[in-house]
Amino acid sequence: MSHSSSDTAPDFTRRFVNLADERLGAVAIFATDDFFADKQRMLQSAPAIFYPDKYDDNGKWMDGWESRRKRVEGHDYAIVRLATSGRIYGVDIDTSHFTGNFPPAASLEGCFCPAGDPDENADWTEIVAPQGLGASAHHYAEVTSSAIYTHVRLHIYPDGGIARLRVYGRPNRDWTEMAAKGEQVDLAAMINGGIAVAWSDAHYGNPNVVLAPGRGVNMGDGWETSRRREPGNEWLIIELGHPGEIEKIVIDTCHFKGNFPDRVSIQGTYVDGEKDKSIIARSMFWQTILPEQKMQADRIHEFGGAAITARGPVSHLRINSIPDGGISRIRILGKPAKP
């Protein structure tokens, strides 16, 4: 298990979706103890924060899950129902702001229980062996199991606080069935495996937020670049959850009023297999999917029909924000290609 900053976080944190994200529907369904801080807090999408003077009836308010000091044998654990079943590639056990109250060690198990939540007879498999934890740090661990899981169980030894639990993986979707139905789906949605793989600038926010469900809650809930002071434009490359033919594009500038892009265009391509290392350079020459379109403040922009100029399945898109600015959400609606 590695200890590192977000700048040096492993590739799986950028390559896959956080299946334990509360906004996608993940729920902490059980904890042996969460006296000081509710178990559900560790699934929040925003980074943990610290309020020096905030207290509640049980003591110091902490942004995460925290159990009381254990005075008997054993250890604490929490069970999380993932937002969707999926293969797990790595985890981040984050102890941010827990300095004198973090667990000395932790481990993680997974189980596949598609019919409901696991009971006492559930078959749990260890996917992260017990590892030491440090104060106020990210602790990353790769997961080598290729199994599909619906739930994870986080063990802390013996007690203490976890700020955030991130479970990075690829959602398990039956694309064969979805393609056979021929129904329109959001190919870029987080819950379907869409992910932002590269970007020119992300000064004010995580680009992956544009693929989250719902509309942005405020101006910070989106992808916003710094003000561009040189020629050219900002861009974002999205890998779709599954290749498909695009029928409708939605670009939402919700809450962006004095800082929305002047124009947006979209290019795309079909990459067979794993993305290559030259994808950023090559993206400049991808075919145009959506020619330049004027944007407006705090508005849902919908494009379909003749506005979409390219046909055939695509797997990757380059969103051009011209020259810069903020986008709250992007929806790429279409029919998935047959696997």
Per-residue pLDDT 10s for the chain (339 aa) are 655 445 689 999 988 999 999 999 999 999 999 999 999 999 999 999 998 889 888 888 899 999 999 999 999 999 999 999 999 999 999 999 999 999 999 999 999 999 999 999 999 999 999 999 999 999 999 999 999 999 999 999 999 999 999 999 999 999 999 999 989 999 999 999 999 999 999 999 789 999 999 999 999 999 999 999 999 999 999 999 999 999 999 999 999 999 999 999 999 999 976 666 789 999 999 999 999 999 999 999 999 999 999 888 999 999 999 999 999 999 999 999 988
CB 65 within 8 A of CB 28: yes
For residue 7, what pLDDT is reported?
61
DSSP structure string for 126-161: EEEEEEE--TT-EEEEE-----EEEEEEEEEES--E
CATH assignment of 2-171?
Answer: 2.60.120.260
At residue 5, the pLDDT reads: 44
Strand, helix or coil for residue 192? helix
What CATH code would you report for 175-336? 2.60.120.260
Per-residue model confidence (pLDDT) at position 59? 86
Q: For the chain, where do the domains classified as CATH 2.60.120.260 start and end? A: 2-171, 175-336
Half-sphere exposure of 203 (CA within 13 A, CB side): 9
Cα(283)–Cα(229) distance, rounded to whole angstroms? 22
Q: What is the DSSP string of 200-237?
A: S--TTS-GGGGGSSS--SSTTSSEEPPPP-SSS-EEEE
Contacts of 5 (CB under 8 A, 6+ apart): 138
Side chain identity at 249, as an amino acid letter? Answer: I
